[in-house]
Amino acid sequence: MTERGEESGPTLPVARVVVDTPLAHLDRPFEYTVPAELDEAARPGVRVRVRFAGKTVDGFLLERTAEAEHRGRLAPLLKVVSPEPVLTPELARLCREVADHYAGTLADVLRLAIPPRHATAERTVPPAADDRPPGVDDAARATPVDDSAWRAYPAGPAFLRHLAAGAGPAAAWLALPDAGSDDGWPLALAQAVAATRRSGRGAVVVLPDHRDVDRLGAALDRVLGPEAYVRLTADQGPQRRYADWLKVLRGHVHVAIGSRSAAFAPVRHPGLVAWWDDGDDLHQEPRSPYPHVREVLRRRAAASGAGLLVGGFTRTPQVQHWLERGWVREVVAAAPTVRERAPRVVVAGEGAAARSDPAAAVARIPTLAWRTVKDGLSRGPVLVQVPRRGYLVGLSCQECRTPVRCPACGGPLQVPAPGAAPVCAWCGETDDGRPCRRCGAAARRSTVVGERRTAEEIGRAFQGVPVRTSRAGHLVARVGPEPAVVVATPGAEPLADGGYAAALLLDGWALLDRAGLDAGVETVRRWAAAAALTRPAPEGGTVVLVGVPPHGHLRPVEALVRWAPGWFAAGELAERAELRLPPVCRTARVGGAPELVEEALAELELPSDVTVLGPLPAGSGGSGEEVQVLLRATDDVAPGLVRALQALRAARSARKAEGVLRVQLDPPDLGV
């Protein structure tokens, strides 16, 4: 019993609640009365149970108000599930923005942002700490920020100083190859976090997979200690996961690292939001409304004044776009430093012999590669990167490997079935056979190249040397410094103590000829990831690129040979701007059964400048019958496109439309 007559502020009798419903047209707060016995517990942010449309459902209490806007009877809150205010105002705002960016609903985004409740976890974590507003104290000011991992970048130390001083600098960072060393990029990120902590603010760092989370964790253990951060990854159990999340919410821990859902971690007063390897598709959430870490964190930085740091060995066109708009500053090493740290990259088959006999460069592993492996094995482990097979067959120039683009819409051309004529993956236009836009050659090629056998051959050729293989699902995390042949698929490369003495990147065109807009970007990203595990050139580190066109100036190849990821990103962006492709414009994919897509297209009230491509049979994933349409909008009309899609979803849900219509904004791999 609470004491009557105790003075209390004016009580706010109305609760505004986000109801957990999948119905898009009900994506707005609903008002409930607060029964006297719940008055104390019914604080903004708590989970509640309410009666909604005849059912008892979960919801989050957004705020308390004095008066209802709803003209009509209000139902009472049934229950406050837990007094924990999990939906902070910042989180509510962030999730609303993310939902609106992707034409999704708030409830959908909240499901991604807030982990399921675990009652035991709530009891084990100490009660909320007092809120301490950030500020630089004198002790922090007196000791210099440790920026040892940033001195190789002219703009690096200043970036850390700004973080430590409480400012919000934004940087696109091209990390130097580090041979997999613990003093490489993980240490740099950890030092950026530590600098941010100097300002009394917190940090969020998102990494694509849990191997990378482990590496940053190890660096943070050294720099800040294991108590100073939590890791939020999907592989923890529900209790551990919720407990760690609560430690952040309750203000006991100010640094959260983890995979994509950690982007929403409720760190108080964030001073830095950072993520590693923007191009990794794991940063894209596979559940509706398919938000990307990049967009979540960018909004977080903008709303909180936090610094922003996106790092990687390569740079995506999206980040390049930010750079060219002046949203982020470049943090890169000077050319001499790059030459010192990067491995030597050579293209096998570029010699005169290969030129006179192109098949020699293709059919077998060239002599240069054999020599490199042999020499490498005398000094340490050698990495052999082998692309997986099974990519869609793409179409590119026979001479220079430039992907052929659709004359009508700029989409990628592909061969849909063995022996079929090439068509555009977006608009269905057939190939008009025009000469290559780069080198003018008329001939095209389309290939799927066999792979694995080559790797086995190498193993057999060096009798007595151990061969290890690593691939997704069968991962080897680390190998020792002793000679070994390490065969790995892209993304599954083990770290080698001291770095690989050499790396062989096989069957380049299996990556390059992949259909889809991102084939070139993805190729450079995967090559660079393997090359970055290799020792620097001055220590003999050599990377051999095998199975790329024997001549010509293919941009991805040049990017790797020159170790010029910034140059590559700029070129890629310029080309996309010319062809009106993302990220210079926004795209949306609407997919589903043919009649559904047809109906949606008729119903959509699109701004006048939106280009409609399709409908076409949907390439992958869907069950045979599905089609998709691509909508393309320039930046100025993109908000109209998103609103139209949101309205479409609302209308469909209001009339209880049958069937599943998949709406996805900024789909990651157009054309597949």
Give the footprint of DNA on this chain (CB under 7 A): 23, 25-26, 30-32, 51-55, 68, 70, 72-75, 654-655
d(CA 113, CA 91): 8
**In terms of CB distance, is 12 or 26 closer to DNA?**
26
Half-sphere exposure of 304 (CA within 13 A, CB side): 31
**In terms of CB distance, is 325 or 655 closer to DNA?**
655
Q: Quote the least distance from Cβ 44 to DNA, whole Å.
A: 17
- β-strand pairing of 413-414 with 270-276: unpaired
**In terms of CB distance, is 26 or 570 closer to DNA?**
26
Contact 517, 671 (CB under 8 A): yes
In Å, what is the CA distance from 449 to each residue of 314, 388, 391, 470, 510?
A: 25, 10, 10, 20, 6
Sequence-distant (≥ 6) Cβ neighbours of residue 9 within 8 angstroms: none
Half-sphere exposure of 58 (CA within 13 A, CB side): 12
d(CA 253, CA 165): 20
In Å, what is the CA distance from 555 to each residue of 51, 512, 562, 568, 648?
A: 59, 11, 10, 7, 41
In Å, what is the CA distance from 359 to each residue of 152, 348, 399, 448, 457?
A: 42, 12, 13, 16, 18
Tokens for 294? 């990049």
- What phi-psi label fits residue 576: left (phi over 0), alpha (psi between -120 and 50 degrees) or beta? alpha
Q: Quote the least distance from Cβ 83 to DNA, whole Å.
A: 22
DSSP string, 356-414: H-HHHHHHS--HHHHHHHHHHHTTS-EEEE---S-PPBB-EETTT-PBPB-TTT-PBEE
d(CA 435, CA 334): 39
Q: Quote the least distance from Cβ 653 to DNA, whole Å.
A: 8
Total residues belonging to the chain:
672
Q: Quote the least distance from Cβ 71 to DNA, whole Å.
A: 9
Half-sphere exposure of 20 (CA within 13 A, CB side): 15
**In terms of CB distance, is 448 or 651 closer to DNA?**
651
Q: Quote the least distance from Cβ 61 to DNA, whole Å.
A: 13
**In terms of CB distance, is 12 or 218 closer to DNA?**
12
Q: Quote the least distance from Cβ 625 to DNA, whole Å.
A: 28
**In terms of CB distance, is 34 or 510 closer to DNA?**
34
**In terms of CB distance, is 165 or 651 closer to DNA?**
651
**In terms of CB distance, is 26 or 574 closer to DNA?**
26
Q: Quote the least distance from Cβ 654 to DNA, whole Å.
A: 5
Q: Quote the least distance from Cβ 598 to DNA, whole Å.
A: 22
Q: Quote the least distance from Cβ 287 to DNA, whole Å.
A: 23
**In terms of CB distance, is 72 or 464 closer to DNA?**
72
